[in-house]
Chain A
C-alpha cells in the first residue's frame, strides 16, 4: 500500500535547497532530459485541472440523484399518512403512487451507482498522472537517438535528473509531492463517497437485503480492481480502504446500514456529500497556481 498519510507540504518548504547539486548526467544529456521532463510535466499537470472539473460535475449530478432518491423514499414512507384530499377517492391511489416511487428509486440508485463508478474512474486517472511525473531516458549512451519515457528501462535510472529543478525551483520529487497531496484529497473523498453511496442505495431496502450490505461488498463488477488502481484496496485484508479524514481514524466495526434513516440523518448525509470535507479548495487552487507559475502556464 502506498501511504495515505504523507504530510502536506507548503510550497515554501518544497523549494529545493539542492539548487547547486550537480547531476550525475553529463550536461548535454541533462539539457535534453530537461526538455523532455518539462514537456512531460506540462502534459501531466494539464490533465489534472480537467479531471478536477470532471470530478466536480459528476459529484454534483450524483448529489442530485441522491437527493431525488431520498425524496422518493421519504414520499413513499409518508404516503400512507398523507392527506390526499379529493384524490383519496381514486382507487388504489396510494398503492400506485408507492409503486411508482419504488420504481423511481430503482432508477435513482442505478444513476447514483453509475456516477460513483465514474468518480472512481476520475480518481484512477489522477493516480495515473501522479505516477507519471518522472522522465526516464532510454536508448544507450552510444546511440545518437535519445528517447524519454515515463517508465524506467532499468533500476539505475532515477528519472528525476538527479534532483535538479526542472523549470525554476521545483525538482521532480517536489512536483510529485504536490501532485500526491492533491490526488490524496480526492482519494480520501472517494472513500467517504463510497460509504455514502452504500448508505444511499440501502435506503428502502428490506431488512434482509440491508443485513447483507457491508463495507466489503462490491458495488459493481470489477470495482475492487478499479479501487486497487486508485490505491484504495487493501490486498492484505481484501477490503476497500476504510473512509477517514486526513488526520482522523475510522472504526468500521460498528458500521450498520440503516434502511429507514430519519430525515435529519439523511440531511446530514446529503450535506456531507456536498461539502466534500476532504477537498480543500483553497489549497487545490494554491497548488495549481504554484505549479502554473513555475511552468509559466496557467493550469488552474
Chain B
C-alpha cells in the first residue's frame, strides 16, 4: 500500500511540472492576446479614411496599413492556436495520469477494498485522496482549456464585427484570471499529498 502511495506521489510531481509548463504558456498566451487585441482595437479606427490626417497625402497608405495589420493579426491568431494546442497537450497528459492512477489501483494484484482505499497511515494521503486529486486536477485544467479556446475564438470574431474596447478588456481579464483554476484548492490538495514533507 505504501508503495502505491509513493507511485502516486511521483505522479503528482509530474503534474506539478505540467502545471509549471502551463504557467509559462499562460504568460505567452496573455502577451499574444494583448498584441492581438491592440490590433483588433485599432482596426475600427484604421477603416475610416478621415482618421488618416496627413497620411492621406500618401496614396494607398490606408489599404496597405489595414492589410498589414490584418496580416499581423492572422499571424498572432495562428500562434495563439499553437499555444492552445500546447495547453491541450497538458490536459491530455493530466488525463492520462488520472487514467494510469485508476489502473494502478485496479490492476494491482491485491485489489484494495474500499476500506483500504480510505485507510490513512500517519500523515500519508489515502489512495482515494490521490485518485480524486488527479481527477480534480484534470477536470479544472480541462475546463480552463475550454474557456481559453472560446476566449480566443471570441477575439477572432470581434475582428469582424464592431465591438467596444471594454469587451476586449473583459475577455482579457477572464484570460488572466483563469477562473476554473482554484489556486487555493490546488495548494491544499498538494499539501495533503505531500503532508510528510511539510
Contact = CB atoms under 8 A, between A and B. Distances in A.
Given A265-B53, A272-B65, A244 B58 contact: yes
Contacts of B186: none
B60 A248 contact: yes
Interface in B99-145: none
A20 to B, nearest CB: 42
A243 B59 CA distance: 9
Contact of B58 (A243, A261, A271): A243
A268 B64 CA distance: 13
Contacts of B65: 268, 271-272, 275, 277
B46 A268 contact: yes
Given A254-B57, A256-B54, A272-B55, A264 B45 contact: yes
B92 interface: no
Interface in A49-104: none
B55 A268 contact: yes
A195 B46 contact: no
Given A271-B69, A272-B65, A275-B65, A247 B53 contact: no
Given A272-B65, A275-B65, A277-B65, A265 B59 contact: no
A199 B55 CA distance: 10
Contacts of B59: 244-245, 248-251
A252 interface: yes
Given A245-B64, A275-B65, A277-B65, A269 B53 contact: yes
A255 interface: yes
A214 B138 CA distance: 64
Nearest to B44: A264
A192 interface: yes
A245 to B, nearest CB: 6
A258 B53 contact: yes
Contacts of B53: 199, 258, 261, 265, 268-269
B64 A277 contact: yes
Interface in B60-89: 60-61, 64-65, 68-69, 72
A72 B51 CA distance: 20
Interface string B37-60: 000001001101001111111111
Interface in A112-143: none
Interface residues of B, number: 20
A257 interface: yes
A298 interface: no
A267 interface: yes
A250 B54 contact: no
Contacts of A243: 57-58
Contact of B54 (A195, A248, A267, A275): A195
Nearest to A188: B58
A81 to B, nearest CB: 21
Contacts of A272: 55, 61, 65
Contacts of B60: 245, 247-249
A258 B54 contact: yes
A257 B54 contact: yes
B61 A271 contact: no
A199 to B, nearest CB: 5
Given A258-B53, A261-B53, A275-B68, A268 B58 contact: no
Specify which of B42, B54, B65, B68 lies most central, judged by the most chain A CB atoms within 10 Å of its CB: B54
19 contacts: A192-B58, A195-B58, A244-B59, A245-B59, A249-B60, A251-B59, A252-B57, A254-B57, A258-B53, A261-B53, A264-B48, A267-B42, A267-B51, A268-B46, A268-B65, A271-B45, A271-B46, A271-B65, A275-B69
Interface of A: 192, 195, 199, 242-245, 247-252, 254-258, 261, 264-265, 267-269, 271-272, 275, 277
Interface of B: 42, 45-46, 48, 51-61, 64-65, 68-69, 72
Given A254-B56, A267-B51, A275-B68, 16 more contacts: A192-B61, A195-B54, A247-B60, A248-B60, A249-B59, A251-B57, A251-B59, A258-B54, A261-B53, A264-B45, A264-B51, A267-B45, A268-B51, A268-B55, A271-B69, A277-B61
